[in-house]
Structure 1
Amino acid sequence: MVDELSAVFGALADPTRRAILQRLADGDAQVSDLAAPFRISQPAISKHLKVLENAGLISRNRVATARFSHLEADRLKEASEYMERYKKFWGESFDKLDGALAAFQRDTTPKGQGRDV
């Protein structure tokens, strides 16, 4: 069984599914509404919706004869929190690189020649 976070990132790997999630951020929608902007069949959209549903990113329900998809944003929050840990790492790494570059520039700039500001 694939862990939940892997399922989320797998679902987010496809641009069509990301676009569907972005559309659902505006509110619930039917399959036909979600399929409209794409040049793919409604069954293909349904397959994308199934991937998103299996990853816990959407839920689907029926209202009379219509079937609506709903964004489940909590799962996106979990993925965002996971990535946030690495954002801190990269920020610290870039800060160290900036410091090393500044030290290198100070060491290699000939005396009497400042940098133009």
Structure 2
Amino acid sequence: MGGQTSRMVREIVEDSTYIIRQTNRATYERSRAAHEEVQTKLSELRRLNEELLQSAESDVQRSEVFESFQSAVGQQKKALDEQVEGFAKQFELPKSYQKIADAHRQERREAQIKAEQAAETLKHPDKS
């Protein structure tokens, strides 16, 4: 009977050891799978973080390009305005000539009004 008991104890120990090994293996496999999943998620997060950093950098670059473009356009506009001003000044009369031209325009207007009034008087002579 002692041999049978020791055989039963040995079988129980072997079964227990087998169960422990299987449990440890399952735990190890779950742990390894969880570790791989965590590593995958970490690498994905790193990739997303890198994309965000690159996106921010490209936004900054786009902003800088836009600002330099606006600055260049502003400078070109200013240069063109100065050229237009210089071009217009070529045809501008000096002040003395400007006064003569204004007086001439005024005389022409007055003469035209008198001519229209005279024509009107000739059309309707019986009103006077």
Q: Same fold (TM over 0.5)?
A: no
Name whichever structure is richer in strand by fraction: 1
Higher relative contact order by CA 8 Å / sep ≥ 6: 1 or 2? 1
Greater Cα radius of gyration, structure 1 or 2: 2
Name whichever structure is richer in helix by fraction: 2
